[in-house]
């Protein structure tokens, strides 16, 4: 039997041209009066995928989810689920279930009744309902809380009841609206892994809306990064982090150093970028940047090395002064101010307990990185 | 908090409560008066209570009042709840402000005007004045009160509860009866009780809308008092006061207990 890890590693239907998407947004636009919440958006989500919609509040991610659930109809375009156009199908006839941000537990019903609610609507036999409810309670480890009312539960327990209720009907797709938003940090981290295990166990398609990038990175197979009603990039967490396709995505996910400049020279593989103050950077894999184009070079802090002397073999090295140091235990973050005034953020793992090359405030320092350490962004 | 009782505090509280309750206390005391003269104390007696129950006119009026109050409160609760639902849910229809104003206008409308206009309407459509017209009149003015009470509850109602129910497969009507109504039930019940009380003690509108054979208790009391206050009326009023007091006290005790229980549950859940 394959471990969960290998299943997750091999799972990449989006790379297979023969796999049909399970959910498809086709040129979907949603307007509320003058406000355009979702703007001509197309998106494909695959069966059994754990898909995250990531964006700041007001970017349209929740509207997208609500359109899938049937609470809103697209103004233009269409949404297909397993080949079926969802237009005009009310929420109570859609094979999707949603877990609400507020959990929306029915306050006048016990935990058991809450979970059984959806099953009763389907006219399931009493014995089957009881069996399924028991199974769900076991799944979320709340067997002893069946007779409690929602207000008699802690936040984490309520979250698990909401989850059990939304998966009880075995929907084709489970929609999760900020599922962990109301939990404290420690509980949130635990629950992230529980959700991933649950998704594998039940073999469901999960679409989760979140504003927390760490949450999206941890859980999702793919992430769609949204801004102002549009999808900026859809990719795996690693791609989003290491190969962002635009300045927005690079800046939105994680920390990044951005150098604005123009392409001075372009070969098949490399590009030489001149910054506004004359500093030069040699980059491999420059993408579609053409000579003369104004671009941004984005590089993550952990890919930059800080040293007191210029490394002999460095292709890219810039001189500056240590401006700030933040010691975080597991790593140290240096802010180095370059000659042109730009501050570069570089982080170093504290792998050993002693530091050989102690740099301190106001020291002269060199920041260096390999040609393939960053990406060139044209957008 | 300052818990000492200064002379000023005591004086104010005594004066305040005297102002509120002296008339009622007097009425209660004189209902136990043995003398037939209302303002002269002639010793303790409960005979007026006995004779009250033999007074067929008063008993009939009380029965009419209760029937009118039950029917009008129930119908007003249904209509008022529907109005509140529409006003909180459909926030974008044309003329909503006008409609809201129109629903709530009878709250501030002088009762005389409401009564008179209803009378004109009943005469115009040729409806014989009696039980039906009083009930209709009471529905008309008490449904606004129900709408106000229910609307204030609906404003804080979490719409995602309804969405969750629909998401789980419940059509809108089922969602309303299984989720919305049970959750807002306390407000609907208070609305009903308010409508019931309003109907119970209404005199002005009933005088306009009522006809022979449908005299309500307030009308009866008022007409008897014009011929002179009898201790029997005092007894009737004391019974009404007792019923209202018991109702209010019971409701507040139940509420308080529920609140305490809820807080205890929540604390237990947080500890767990």
Examine the pLDDT at B168 and tell me if it is beyond 90.
Answer: yes
Instruction: Write the class of the CATH domain A255-306+313-377.
Output: mainly beta
Position A1 confidence tier, pLDDT thresholds 50, 70, 90? very low
- Please report the pLDDT score of residue A277 as a whole number: 60
- Please report the pLDDT score of residue A20 as a whole number: 85
Environment class of A159 (CB within 10 Å of its CB; exposed 0-12, middle 13-18, buried 19+): buried
Nearest alpha carbon to residue A227 among A74, A68, A61:
A61
A253 Rama sector, left if φ>0, alpha if ψ -120 to 50, beta otherwise = beta
All CATH 3.40.50.300 domain ranges of chain A, comma separated, are 4-95+171-247
Examine the pLDDT at A6 and tell me if it is beyond 70.
Answer: no
- Rg for chain B (alpha carbons), in Å? 23
- Interatomic CA distance for residues B137 and B133, integer angstroms: 6
Report ipTM for this prediction: 0.81
Contact A122 B161 (CB under 8 A): no
A34 Cβ neighbours under 8 A, 6+ residues apart: none
In this predicted model, what pLDDT tens digit does every residue of A241-257 receive, in sequence order?
988 888 999 988 888 88
In this predicted model, what pLDDT tens digit does every residue of B59-109 receive, in sequence order?
888 888 999 999 999 999 999 999 998 888 877 777 778 877 887 787 888
Nearest alpha carbon to residue A376 among A293, A286, A304, A294:
A286
CATH number of B57-226: 1.10.3720.10
Examine the pLDDT at A85 and tell me if it is beyond 50.
Answer: yes
Distance (Å) from the alpha carbon of A150 to chain B's nearest alpha carbon: 9
Examine the pLDDT at A4 and tell me if it is beyond 70.
Answer: no
- Interatomic CA distance for residues A262 and B213, integer angstroms: 97
Nearest alpha carbon to residue A242 among A199, A278, A275, A285:
A285
Lowest mean pLDDT among A100-114, B12-26, B218-232: B218-232
- Interatomic CA distance for residues A272 and A265, integer angstroms: 5
In this predicted model, what pLDDT tens digit does every residue of A223-238 receive, in sequence order?
999 998 889 999 999 8
The model's pTM: 0.79
Distance (Å) from the alpha carbon of A164 to chain B's nearest alpha carbon: 12
Residues of B in contact with A107 (CB under 8 A): 161, 183
Position B271 confidence tier, pLDDT thresholds 50, 70, 90? low
Contact A106 B165 (CB under 8 A): yes
The answer to whether A152 contacts chain B (CB < 8 Å) is yes
In this structure, the dihedral spanned by the alpha carbons of residues B4, B5, B6 and B10, taken in order and rounded to 10 degrees, is 160
What mean pLDDT comes out for the span A331-350?
86
In this predicted model, what pLDDT tens digit does every residue of A96-120 receive, in sequence order?
999 999 899 999 999 999 999 999 9
Whether residue A163 contacts residue A204, with contact meaning beta carbons closer than 8 Å, is answered with no
In chain B, the N- to C-terminal Cα span, in Å, equals 34
- The more confidently predicted of residues B191 and B101 is B191
By C-alpha distance, the chain B residue nearest A101 is B160
Position B16 confidence tier, pLDDT thresholds 50, 70, 90? very high
Q: Up-side HSE of residue A5: CA atoms within 13 Å toward CB?
A: 0
CATH superfamily for domain A4-95+171-247: P-loop containing nucleotide triphosphate hydrolases (3.40.50.300)
Mutation pick from B162, B169, B172, B268 vs chain A, by most beta carbons of A within 10 Å, is B169
In this predicted model, what pLDDT tens digit does every residue of A276-326 receive, in sequence order?
666 788 888 777 777 777 888 888 999 888 888 888 887 888 888 888 888
Which token pair is B135? Answer: 């009930």
Distance (Å) from the alpha carbon of A170 to chain B's nearest alpha carbon: 11
Place of tokens 């005391």: B29
A225 Cβ neighbours under 8 A, 6+ residues apart: A54, A55, A231, A232, A233, A234, A240, A248, A249, A252, A253
Q: Up-side HSE of residue A112: CA atoms within 13 Å toward CB?
A: 11
């Amino acid at each position: 039997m394959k471990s969960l890890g290998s299943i997750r590693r091999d799972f990449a239907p989006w790379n297979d041209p023969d796999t049909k998407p399970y959910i498809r947004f086709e040129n979907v636009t949603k307007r509320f009066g003058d406000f355009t919440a979702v703007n001509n958006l197309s998106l494909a989500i695959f069966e059994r995928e754990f898909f995250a919609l990531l964006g700041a509040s007001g970017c349209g991610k929740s509207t997208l989810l609500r359109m899938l659930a049937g609470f809103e109809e697209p103004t233009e375009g269409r949404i297909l689920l397993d080949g079926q156009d969802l237009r005009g199908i009310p929420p109570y006839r859609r094979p999707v279930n949603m877990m609400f941000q507020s959990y929306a537990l029915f306050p006048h019903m016990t935990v058991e009744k809450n979970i059984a609610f959806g099953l009763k609507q389907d006219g399931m036999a009493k014995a089957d309902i009881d069996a399924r409810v028991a199974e769900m309670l076991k799944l979320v480890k709340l067997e002893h809380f069946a007779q409690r009312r929602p207000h008699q539960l802690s936040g984490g327990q309520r979250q698990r009841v909401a989850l059990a209720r939304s998966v009880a009907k075995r929907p084709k797709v489970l929609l999760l609206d900020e599922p962990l938003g109301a939990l404290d940090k420690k509980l949130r981290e635990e629950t992230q892994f529980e959700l991933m295990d649950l998704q594998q166990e039940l073999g469901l398609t999960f679409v989760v809306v979140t504003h927390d990038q760490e949450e999206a990175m941890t859980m999702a197979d793919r992430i769609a990064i949204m801004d102002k009603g549009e999808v900026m990039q859809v990719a795996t967490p690693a791609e989003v982090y290491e190969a962002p396709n635009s300045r927005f995505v690079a800046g939105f996910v994680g920390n990044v150093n951005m150098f604005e400049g123009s392409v001075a020279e372009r070969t098949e593989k490399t590009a030489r970028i001149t910054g506004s103050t004359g500093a030069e950077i040699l980059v491999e894999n420059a993408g579609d940047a053409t000579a003369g184009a104004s671009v941004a070079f984005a590089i993550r802090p952990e890919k930059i090395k800080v040293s007191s002397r210029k490394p002999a073999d460095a292709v890219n090295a810039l001189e500056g002064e240590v401006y700030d140091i933040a010691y975080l235990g597991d790593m140290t973050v240096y802010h180095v101010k370059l000659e042109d005034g730009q501050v570069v953020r570089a982080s170093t793992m504290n792998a050993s307990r002693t530091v050989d090359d102690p740099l301190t405030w106001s020291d002269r320092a060199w920041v260096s990185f390999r040609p393939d350490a960053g990406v060139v962004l044209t957008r | 908090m300052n818990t000492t009782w200064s002379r000023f505090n005591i004086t104010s509280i005594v004066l305040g409560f005297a102002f509120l309750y002296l008339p009622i206390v007097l009425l209660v005391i004189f209902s136990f008066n043995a003398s037939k003269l209302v303002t002269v104390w002639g010793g303790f007696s409960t005979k007026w209570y006995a004779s009250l129950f033999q007074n067929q006119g008063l008993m009939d009026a009380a029965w009419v009042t209760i029937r009118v109050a039950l029917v009008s409160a129930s119908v007003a609760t249904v209509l008022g709840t529907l109005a509140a639902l529409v006003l909180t849910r459909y926030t974008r229809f044309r003329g909503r402000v006008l409609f809201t104003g129109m629903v709530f206008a009878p709250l501030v409308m002088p009762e005389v005007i409401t009564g008179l206009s209803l009378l004109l309407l009943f005469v115009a459509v040729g409806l014989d004045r009696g039980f039906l017209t009083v009930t209709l009149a009471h529905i008309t003015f008490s449904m606004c009160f129900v709408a106000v009470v229910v609307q204030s509850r609906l404003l804080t109602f979490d719409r995602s509860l309804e969405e969750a129910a629909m998401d789980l497969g419940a059509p809108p009507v089922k969602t309303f009866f299984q989720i919305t109504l049970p959750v807002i039930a306390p407000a609907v019940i208070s609305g009903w009780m308010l409508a019931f009380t309003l109907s119970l003690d209404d005199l002005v509108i009933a005088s306009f809308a009522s006809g022979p054979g449908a005299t309500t208790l307030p009308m009866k009391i008022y007409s008897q008092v014009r011929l002179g206050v009898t201790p029997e009326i005092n007894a009737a009023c004391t019974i009404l006061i007792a019923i209202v007091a018991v109702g209010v006290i019971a409701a507040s005790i139940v509420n308080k207990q529920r609140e305490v229980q809820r807080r205890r549950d929540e604390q237990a859940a947080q500890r767990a």
